[in-house]
Structure 1
Amino acid sequence: ESVHIPVLIGRTGLHDLVYNDFYIGEDADVTIVAGCAIHNPGSDDSSHDGIHRSFLGENARVKYVEKHYGEGEGKRILNPTTVIELAAGSYMEMDSVQIQGVDSTVRDTRAVVGTGATLIVSEKIMTEGEQKAETIFDVDLDGEDSRTHLISRSVVRGNSHQKFVSKMTGNNKSRGHSECDAILMDQGRAVAIPEVTANHLESELIHEAVIGKIAGEQLTKLMTLGLSEKEAEAQIISGFMK
């Protein structure tokens, strides 16, 4: 089954709050596509807060795709909150993209992973100008042989700021891997804050973070192929955000 839940805001000064609860039965295989776009034509702030809860039954599989976009003169604010509970043997993959036009966002994802269950979360965020983005991953690995892989890739341009908070707690035999890769450009700033807690002898938790500018040798290599510096930067960023 496939479910699409688009949200479109086209007025200035509009503040929207939406609740979505998904109950996925045993052995079900579901794709959920959640998209939100804000076009703010005026001077007042417009915002969308979405609270999405997913409850997966045993051996259920879910692909969750989330895309955010903004444009217009006024500020565009998006604050998604995602709560996930995975029963034994279930699997969820969450793919979130925010590439353009969102002035402020706090992206809060919290999950409890049961026995033999797996959660994979991948996000890609680009900010520019004075934009701000904060990501919070908070995953409890409660079940035996539970797993999670948390991936954040970001490009920070202009005077924008991004913050990545990753918290993994292993309460049973489990494996968790968190990685944050950020490219800094102009006067952009990025912060990565890991917290890994192992409450079980057989809990294996790993966090990796790489933050920095585009390597000069990468630019040089592409420029020797005939690209300008800006074209080379665009090519590198495009590949990084795929």
Structure 2
Amino acid sequence: MDCSIWLPSKLTSDQGKQFESNLFHKLTKLLGIDKIHTTPYHPQSNGMVERWHRSLKTALRARLNHKSWIEELPIILLGLRAVPRSDTNVSAAELTFGKTLRLPGDFYDTDRNVSYDSYEYVQKLRQSIDRLKPRPAARNSKHIFVYPDLKTCNKVFVRNDTVRKTLQPPYDGPFNVIKRSDKIFTLQLPDRKAKFPIDRLKPSYVLNETDVTDETSPQKVYFTQPEIPSPTSCPEIPKI
């Protein structure tokens, strides 16, 4: 966690051991940071960071040539922070420092002599940010199917997104529903309570004991074994 620029007021992480440790909780409490975490195996809830991690890994794979990735990391981070984003048309460095970074190639350009008035620059920057609009979602975005019966069911199955064996069932459960919202369900597991996103759940259809009455209970059917004649009682076969 880099706090060289400022301290974050809120920190979102997954439920990895390093983020859920007692040491990390004490550190965030000492620094006055509101620590929240995503639901298990649901990277979509922290999609902005996960998308940036994918770009970082792609850049590392392109640069590695029998070298250590740690040696290549500084130049890759410099490039990612200096490139303009497609939705805002400005780089992360410009949003943080208010100006572009000086890249290695800029040191050889001696013809540029640009001076900025600080007040005028800040005013133009604020006007530009106010004109920014969020980028609309793609029309072909994937629609997530949600079971309609999740609104009323008392028990649900949870999809197991961990690496599993070939014949292992894809769902665990069923588990009792304690609390539900539009996107998050709180379930009672065998040893604890846990929250799960709705796209990992499917309703469980279980018959209650009260649904089975004497009228609908299966009746016993008795079969009588037919008598098998003894060999002595069989008629003799005429000899030919």
Q: Same fold (TM over 0.5)?
A: no
Which of the pair has more CA radius of gyration?
A: 2
Task: Tell me which interval the TM-score lies in, with the shorter structure as reference length.
Answer: under 0.3
Bigger proportion of residues as helix: 2
